[in-house]
């Protein structure tokens, strides 16, 4: 049996956007998968958005449906729907993740600094 290839049709910047796109596509008879970032291992929903995947055979129809119902550009990662459909995720540094980790490190340092000073 041939395995179906799933291709990204859109990128949801929030869980609510992902829910809306999934319901819209499923309501039109298109099977949908959602794939979040690596943070899904630790959290219920990824704070870094998630990819909306459809089968290759449904890609064009899914794009048309999303265009028809005016899915905002922000909900698809500020990328036009015509330019999407990539099979491989974009490689590179996720600036939002780097900034988030720097904030976490700063907060931890602020909390632990008095303890460190008292032991010196």
Mean pLDDT (whole number) for 86-93: 58
Q: What pLDDT does residue 68 have?
A: 84
Q: What pLDDT does residue 3 have?
A: 74
For the chain, how big is the Rg over CA atoms in Å?
Answer: 19
Mean pLDDT (whole number) for 36-49: 56
Instruction: List Cα–Cα distances, 71 to 16, 24, 87, 102, 120, in angstroms.
Output: 12, 10, 21, 32, 57
More confident residue, 9 or 45: 9
Q: Where are the domains of the chain?
A: 6-93
89 — pLDDT class (breaks 50, 70, 90):
low
Q: What angle do CA 5, 87, 56 make, to 5 degrees?
A: 35
**CA-CA distance, 94 to 78, in Å (whole number)?**
15
Structure tokens at 116: 């460190």
> Does the pLDDT at position 105 exceed 60?
yes
Phi-psi region of 92 (alpha: psi -120 to 50; beta: other; left: phi over 0): left
Mean pLDDT of the chain: 77
Lowest model confidence (mean pLDDT) among 16-20, 37-41, 77-81, 111-115: 77-81
> Does the pLDDT at position 100 exceed 60?
yes
- Closest of 57, 103, 51 to residue 77, by C-alpha: 51
Q: Which CATH architecture does the domain made up of 6-93 adopt?
A: 2-Layer Sandwich (3.30)
């Amino acid at each position: 049996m041939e395995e179906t290839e799933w291709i990204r049709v859109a990128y949801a910047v929030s869980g609510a956007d992902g829910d809306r796109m999934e319901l819209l596509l499923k309501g039109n008879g298109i099977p949908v998968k959602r794939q979040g970032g690596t943070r899904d291992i630790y959290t219920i929903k990824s704070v870094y958005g998630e990819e909306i995947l459809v089968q290759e055979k449904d890609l064009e129809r899914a794009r048309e449906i999303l265009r028809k119902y005016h899915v905002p550009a922000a909900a698809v990662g500020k990328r036009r729907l015509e330019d999407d459909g990539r099979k491989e995720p974009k490689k590179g540094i996720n600036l939002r993740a780097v900034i988030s980790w720097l904030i976490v490190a700063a907060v931890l340092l602020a909390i632990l600094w008095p303890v460190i000073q008292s032991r010196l």
